[in-house]
Structure formats: C-alpha cells, structure tokens
Amino acid sequence: MKKLMGSVATVAVCAGFFGVMGTGTAAAVNTQPIDLWDATYGYAQGGVTFHNRDVVIQGSVKSHTTGCAQAEFEIFANFTDETPLKTETRTACGRGTGTSTDFHFTVDMPAGGAAYLRTSLNENTTGSWKLVSWETANNTDRL
C-alpha cells in the first residue's frame, strides 16, 4: 500500500506540473513599452509582449483635440522586409468624457514570432489622417 501511495503521489505531482505549464501556451519572450505622447493631439501608451507565435498588445489611445487620435500597430516578421505582416488600429475621437479607448488584443504570428512592432500615433482634425509620431519595439530575442 505504501509503494502504491508513492506512485499515486508522483503521478499527481507530475500532472500538476504539466497542468501549470500548459501544453499550448507560448512563453513570453519579452515585453516592451509603447509610449507616444503629443501635447496637441493625444497619446498612445501601453506595452507589447512578444511570444513565439503571437504578439500581445495592450494599452490605451486618447485624443486631446476635437478630432481623432489613432494608434496604428504594424507587426513585422523580420528586420529586412518593410512590408508589415499584420496591421491593426485603435481610435479615440473628441475631447472630454469618452475620448480614451483601451485596447488589449493578440495577433497570431508564424513560428518564430515577430521581429518588431512599429506603433504610429496619427491625428485627424481636418478630415484626413496625418502621422504625428512613431516608435518601434524590437523583439530582443530575435536581434
């Protein structure tokens, strides 16, 4: 009976270990900040976490004007190709209550993950979008 209990305990510990690890989750490679501010037009802030097969982007975008502010996210598979593999946008319009838009989304990537993310802050006060500023977040595991 004692030997059987030891085997059961070993199986339970192993099952618990693999349950915690998970079988389909990708380990986080690294997290980089998103921090674009413009006193006139607004901001986009948050962070990006690079995984082996996806990119998790979270934060908020806010408009300081009566127009709109837009955060545009371009995800690149490698450092030499200037064509984004995926593009997402999040927009906030108007001034005052309700002008901030939170975001939290995942973009699936092929094996190896993304090389980098380019985030742009765009504004629209005249009827067309204009680039205000941009920054990149590199997947340092791929450098």
- Per-residue confidence band for 19, with pLDDT thresholds at 50, 70 and 90: very low
Say yes or no to pLDDT of 121 above 60.
Answer: yes
Whether residue 108 is predicted with pLDDT greater than 60 in this model: the reply is yes
pTM of the model: 0.77
Query: What pLDDT is stored for residue 35 in this prediction?
Result: 96
Q: Is 137 helix (H, G, I), strand (E, B) or coil?
A: strand
- pLDDT of 16 reads 41
Q: pLDDT digit string (tens) for 24-65?
A: 445 557 899 999 999 889 999 999 999 988 999 999 999 998
For 5-17, the pLDDT digits (tens) are 444 444 344 444 3
Q: Which residues contact 130 (CB under 8 A, 6 or more apart)?
A: 122, 123, 124
Render pLDDT for 60-103 as a digit per residue (tens, 0 to 9): 999 998 889 999 999 999 888 889 999 999 999 987 665 899 99
Give CA separation, 13 vs 20, 22, 38, 76, 140, in Å: 11, 14, 52, 41, 34
In this prediction, residue 99 carries a pLDDT of 81
By three-state DSSP, how is residue 22 classified?
coil
Q: At CA 98, angle to CA 93 and CA 100, rounded to 5?
A: 65
More confident of the two residues 78 and 129: 129
Tell me what pLDDT residue 7 has: 44
